[in-house]
Amino acid sequence: MIKIDLKLFVTLSKYLPQDSECLELSEKTTVETLIADLGIPFKLVKLIFINGKRQDYKYQLKHNDRVGLFPPVGGG
């Protein structure tokens, strides 16, 4: 098992589990698996940051990773 620190921003925050600062996952979990397990529709996730660096859905999470997921941002 690995533990990560998960942050979901703006409209994604409603999918945040209770123990998100020390979320326990099985080894070899990818960002794609994490998003699916949380019940977040993939179209709602636009940006993925792991330890401050942009990553994609295929990134395999590691122990103590800091994960941030962001929705599409609009403005004008």
Parse the chain into domains and list their residue ranges. Answer: 2-70
Task: Chunk the chain into consecutive blocks of 10 residues (it has 76) and report each block's average pLDDT, rounded to whole numbers.
Answer: 96 89 93 97 97 97 97 73
Distances (CA, A) of 64 to 2, 4, 20, 39: 7, 5, 12, 22
CATH 3.10.300.10 describes domain 2-70: no
> In sequence order, which residues have a C-beta less than 8 Å from that of residue 44 and are 6 or more positions away?
11, 12, 71, 72
Percent of the chain with pLDDT over 90: 87
Mean pLDDT score across all residues of the chain: 94
